[in-house]
Amino acid sequence: MNKVITINLNGQAYQLEEGGYDALRAYLDGAARRLEGNPDRDEIIADIEQAIADKCRALLSAHKTVVVTKEIEQIVAEMGPVEDASGEAPRAAAAGAAGSAKDPGATRAGEPSAEPGPARRLYRIYPEGAMLSGVCNGLAAYLNLDVALVRVLFCLTCFFWGFGVLLYILMVIIIPPARTSAEKSAAFGAAATAQEFIRRAKEGYYEGLKTFSDKHAHREWRRRFKDEMRNWRRTFRREMRDNAYRGHPNWAPGPGPGPGAWVMLPLVSLLHSALVFLWVCMLISLLAKGTIFGLMPPADLPVWATILILFLLFGFVSWPLKALRHACYYQASYGRSGAPPVVWLWEVMVWVAFAVALGVLASHHFPQLKDALQNLPDVVHDAVDAFRRWWAKP
């Protein structure tokens, strides 16, 4: 038994369940919003109400005087979202600024999107304008930045021990590609204007932020904590340095990185990055085709076991390279508390440049790489499913 609300549709009274009323109210409000600026708005709304009334009347009879929520939802689905035919109002209403609805040609992707404000969503945009697989592209659309800028920033994240590459592959897997036109327009989404924020606030978007005061105190505490830690670290370092001079003349700083280190270090790291690249290629080819560059793994070895073996092999082969690298660093840091940062910077720069160049070259010459990267999410899911099935086997 539900509450019933009586409404007026074009001069006739209809009784709807409470849930149905809410659904209908939302639909008509959405229509009114999308038709803002349309000179015939009232008439169109009246026509729509009439059409809804006709459909309701078809469902009523002497024994049934109330329209239930499910029926209202069906009616709303049949009617479809109200699209402003002139195509101007939706975008302009979202952008809101000058309040004038006469802003044609403001549609981004050229799609006839009827939504004035799908909340902005993060998608990968592939293949329009994508370089490798559309991660930076989609990110740029979400943040409203230039794509090149986002790509540069992304490469900079590679400075942290190649983290960027792993992050990139993770993003390829996690972020969904925008396929339908609705998703594509959502990727560019409602602009971050005052109008949009007001709309979101009205729809309860920000309800979760109500615990402001607690967060403020928490943030204060964190900031103070970080300052303390920073000061402690600084005094610690200073004391260590002083002690080194005072107590142990043997520990005077050594000659610094010898000339050999400058050359060997980048070479070693180049080799290392080449190895990493090779390993990633093997991994991808294994996941995509089930073979490693044409070599079939032993027949009944499940995929995940091959991957594990690959990991181990990689660790084994790269161990001497890693040892060499550490030796160079050690030589460079003889007598200091650590290698001078310039050594590390030099190595990372060379590594990043080489890795990125190799990656871009490869993707240009081997279009299969791009496709493989596109298939990666599906392939990973397949692999996960296969593992799950194997695990579930009795």
Partner 1 sequence: MSVNEKFLSIRKGLLEFLLLKIIAADKVYVADILRQLKETEFATQEGTLYPLLSKMRREKLLDYEWQESEAGPPRKYYQLTTRGRERLRETTEYWQKISGTVKDLGQPL
Positions 135 through 194 that interact with partner 1 (CB under 8 A): 180-181
Query: 36 to 75, contacts with partner 1 by CB under 8 A?
Result: 38-40, 43-44, 47-48, 50-51, 53-54, 57
Asked if residue 288 binds partner 1 (CB under 8 A), the reply is: no
Give the residue with the Cβ less far from partner 1, 40 or 128: 40
Q: Per-residue string for binding with partner 1, 247-286, x by CB under 8 A?
A: ----------------------------------------
Q: How far apart are CB 9 and partner 1 at their closest, in Å? A: 10
Place of tokens 């902005």: 120
Tell me whether residue 2 or residue 8 sits nearer to partner 1 (CB atom).
Answer: 8
Give dist(CA 159, CA 189) in Å, integer.
Answer: 31
Q: Are strands 4-9 and 66-67 parallel, antiparallel or unpaired?
A: unpaired
What amino acid occupies position 327? A
Tell me if 378 contacts partner 1 by CB under 8 A: no
Give, to the nearest 10 degrees, the angle between helix 367-392 and helix 303-332.
Answer: 120
Interacting residue with partner 1 among 23, 31, 191, 283 (CB under 8 A) = 31
Site for partner 1 in 84-103 (CB under 8 A): 84-86
Q: Which of 144, 130, 209 is nearest to 175 (CA)?
A: 130
Q: Which residues of 277-295 are buried (b: 16+ CB within 10 A; e: fewer)?
A: bebbbbbbbbbbeeeeeee
Q: Which residues contact 238 (CB under 8 A, 6 or more apart)?
A: none
Least distance from C-beta 204 to partner 1, angstroms?
Answer: 25
Give residue for tokens 């409203």. Answer: 144
SS3 of 375-392: HHHHHHHHHHHHHHHHHH
Query: Using CB under 8 A as the criterion, what x/- string covers residues 315-354 for binding partner 1?
Result: ----------------------------------------
User: Does 83 help bind partner 1 (rule: CB under 8 A)?
Assistant: yes
Query: Binding residues for partner 1, per CB under 8 A?
Result: 10-12, 31, 35, 38-40, 43-44, 47-48, 50-51, 53-54, 57, 78-86, 112, 180-181
